[in-house]
Amino acid sequence: MPEGDTVWNTARVLHRALAGARLTGSDFRVPALATTDLTGWTVTESASRGKHLLLRLTAPAPVTSTIAWTLHSHLRMDGVWRAYAPGERWTARPAHLIRAVLRSAQAVAVGYHLHELALLPTAEEERLLGHLGPDLLGADWDPAEAVRRLAAAPGVTIGEALLDQRNLAGVGNLYKCELLFLRGISPWTPVGAVPDLPGTVALAQRLLAANRGRWTQSTTGSLRRGQTSYVYGRRAQPCRRCGTAIAKEDLGDRVTYWCPTCQPTPPPADPGTPPV
Ligand SMILES: [Zn+2]
């Protein structure tokens, strides 16, 4: 599942394949970019911010007066970028899912099922990304700011708040479920009732950081198949700590897994003293 660490890894793959290279061809299979041709453009760098991918490019001077451009993409649930050697077969996904192809003399980057694909002046990146909270894997990660943003809406459940990229950028459903299990917190606990918000935020950062540089996401320390999570994807299987069957609830695309024993449901909010 593409969460902050997967996007971070993908940015490194693209950086290694294309940074510094002059593009010898491009092919965009989305209507908005159908006529865009990046031939002759130079790839400056590839970066990630939360779950957003930013491929920064330099346009050749005669093409446009704006020199620095960014090709933005988002992987959501199903997007991938792959780098291939020239001539190598593109096998990651069926060809009809290809949305972008970038060619250089040394490598070909192929983007499948990309979302929010857009080319914009680098100076305008904030227009797309300005709403994001601190990036868990960013050089400017700011845990105090993430805690401040979370705490600003104390009535929202912690499960929802962790997924809201305006609070902190990079946590998806897998890390949300695993993090709350590790902290012993029910996903339905209001943010204001979470005992140690800074500790929860710090653990979120450690979980993502631990998975940088590899594609198998693990929160248990094991990379063995079937052993990589405590609760995520384990409905009805015994909790690794207490043996209780792991529960699952589907709320649209927000699937939540939790252990009802290790993560007890919070008591209803105290309504206070009734008025006389
Ligand atoms: Zn348990």
For position 269, what pLDDT does the model report? 65
**pLDDT of residue 66 exceeding 70:** yes
What confidence category does residue 234 fall into, taking pLDDT thresholds of 50, 70 and 90?
A: very high
- Ligand 1 centroid – CA 237 distance (Å): 11
Active-site residue 94, yes or no?
no
- Helix (H) / strand (E) element for 129: namely helix 125-129
- Ligand 1 centroid – CA 129 distance (Å): 38
**Residues 18, 55 contacting (CB under 8 angstroms):** yes
Active-site residue 31, yes or no?
no
- Helix (H) / strand (E) element for 109: namely strand 108-112
Active-site residue 254, yes or no?
yes
Active-site residue 2, yes or no?
yes
Catalytic residue among 2, 99, 160, 178: 2
Q: How far is CA 207 from CA 1, 18, 164, 172, 189, in A?
A: 14, 28, 17, 12, 21
- Ligand 1 centroid – CA 200 distance (Å): 18
What pTM does this model have?
0.89
DSSP state of 27: E
Catalytic residue among 127, 206, 214, 254: 254
Amino acid, res. 67: I
- Ligand 1 centroid – CA 182 distance (Å): 10
For residue 248, report the phi and psi dihedrals to the nearest 5 degrees. -140, 140
For position 271, what pLDDT does the model report? 64
Dmax (CA) for the chain in angstroms is 81
For position 114, what pLDDT does the model report? 96
Residue percentage of the chain with pLDDT more than 70:
97
**Residues 197, 274 contacting (CB under 8 angstroms):** no
- Ligand 1 centroid – CA 240 distance (Å): 7
Torsion of CA 156, 228, 230, 75, to 10 degrees: 20
Q: 116-173 pLDDT, tens per residue?
A: 999 999 999 999 999 999 999 999 899 999 999 999 999 999 999 999 999 999 999 9
